Structure 1
Amino acid sequence: MGATRRTLVLLGAVVLAAVGAAPTAAADTTSNGVVYSVVPDVRAGVSPQGPGEWTVNYEKIAGGDPAITDAINRILDDEADGQVWLFAASASKSSPWTFHTQGRLHFRPMTISALFEGQYNAVELPNMPVDTVATRVFDSRSGIQIVWENLFVDEQAGLNRLGELTKKILPATYVTPPLGGWGEYYAGWAPVERNFRFWIPTDAGIQMYFPEGQFGREVRSITIPWSAVADLIAPAFAPITS
């Protein structure tokens, strides 16, 4: 993901709106043999504490088992709401700012994933705009979230592997290093959960997203092949590699 593709995620709503630019429906809306409809939703509002405004367009699902659908949609709503509060609380109280983000769903045989990408911009402040990314991954068989703790048989062993692979794959993916060189950002691939919190499963493997600041002034993304982590995945989630 290049520097021009800036991404930020703001989740939360002080003011809810029923209007806004609707996200485009995902091309494939089938998971676990169930066909879902993609339903657009939006959070929009203005800051009560300063000259700011935000719009969070995102997608939810309809159809299938109501218990599973409702569980997934509740978390998607929480993600949309929580980011708004996060950025609105820390945003400038004197300079105009905007936040706009888009959340899109991705469907695979046993997963439904959400990828939020957007941008925060306070034009009168330095180092703007700022891009961020956020993700959620769900098991479409049950509606539970898939996180490293349940995906890997041993979470720390999984994080160790992700750290080792990121250290190799990231510099190979981005030929031009960030300012100061990759060595300046060694803490970014340390095997701790906060360094690997944004990801979605794809056919090719685990698509990792690293927010702006973790490895320089851009959001970066790499793919970790399933074959490189297959031995660490819990048997219950083995189909995720298909």
Structure 2
Amino acid sequence: MSRIIASTILLCALWISAAPAAAEPAGANPGYAAAPALIEGGSPDELGEWRVDYQRVIGGDAVIADRINEIIDAEARGQVATYEPSATKTNPWTLNIEGNLQFAPMTVSALFRGVYNTNMPNMPIETLATRVFDNRSGILLSWDNLFLDKQAGLNRLSAVTKAAMPGRQWGSEVAPVDDNFRYWLPTDDGIELHFPHGQFGRGVTVVSVPGAAIADLIAPVFAPLIPAPVA
């Protein structure tokens, strides 16, 4: 994989560009805002063109912002490294991805959505990735640190997902394992689960999980990040 990334960097025009910060979104942690960034280039065989337009964190605590940006930059590069090696070697193709930040009082989240397309059957394919950070420390949040008991948490997410789409015949696509629940974002009411293209059919599927459905499983240090149920 490292050779793939290295060859891509050598053969493609690759840069990160920053611009002055836009106005801070409502509800954001004071001092943090988003600035645009870009990487783009082409595949070594010259059949593919790719572009990742995304956002990086600026302002606030510089050490925390750098910690978050290191992972966001890696994800932007990782989107290319994921799709370029498996792209068609016979047809022209494009990969266009946008990455946008979402700010909450105690989190910074990145949502990467895009499209891989070529003149072949069953195209285009939607791309997806998320990253969620505690803006008090800059650490990446995952089921490993968010839940007191990760397996209990995954069991709950699986049950909520099934309940959100009744009448289906379920298989391994909703089993309570990490790979089935990789992408998520915090919301004002709890979390959103984002399921990639192909997991439940074509396109990305989003399932809302109320905070009340998982609040009892959240580690106390992260409890303020997930809205508590209303008494």
Superposition TM-score, scaled by structure 1 size: 0.84
Question: What is the Cα deviation at residue 94 of structure 1?
Answer: 1.5
Select the structure with the greater relative contact order (CA < 8 A; seq sep ≥ 6).
1
The answer to whether residue 116 in structure 2 is matched with residue 133 in structure 1 is no
Q: Contact 1:165 / 1:224 at 8 angstroms: preserved in 2?
A: yes
The answer to whether residue 98 in structure 2 is matched with residue 84 in structure 1 is no
1:101 to 72, 90, 97: 97
CA distance in 2, matches of 1:77, 1:18: 9
Superposition TM-score, scaled by structure 2 size: 0.88
CA distance in 2, matches of 1:159, 1:211: 17
CA RMSD, aligned part only?
2.3
Question: What is the Cα deviation at residue 136 of structure 1?
Answer: 0.0
CA distance in 2, matches of 1:200, 1:23: 23
1:207 to 192, 196, 200: 192
2:25 to 17, 24, 27: 27
Per the alignment, do residues 224 and 232 of structure 1 end up closer, same or farther by CA in structure 2, a change over 3 Å counting?
Answer: same
Question: What is the Cα deviation at residue 198 of structure 1?
Answer: 0.4
Q: Which residue of 2 aligns with 1:142?
A: 137
Q: Contact 1:212 / 1:218 at 8 angstroms: preserved in 2?
A: yes
Alignment deviations for residues 29-53 of structure 1 (CA, whole Å, 9 cap, x no partner): 722xx32231100110010124000
Unaligned runs of 5+ in 1: 1-10, 172-180
Question: What is the Cα deviation at residue 192 of structure 1?
Answer: 0.1
Q: Contact 1:29 / 1:35 at 8 angstroms: preserved in 2?
A: no
Equivalent AA in structure 2 for residue 143 of structure 1: G
Q: Contact 2:24 / 2:32 at 8 angstroms: preserved in 1?
A: no
Regions of 4+ moved over 6 Å = 22-26
Alignment deviations for residues 203-226 of structure 1 (CA, whole Å, 9 cap, x no partner): 021111101110011210010000
Alignment deviations for residues 133-178 of structure 1 (CA, whole Å, 9 cap, x no partner): 110000000000010010000000000000011011134xxxxxxx
Per the alignment, do residues 224 and 237 of structure 1 end up closer, same or farther by CA in structure 2, a change over 3 Å counting?
Answer: same
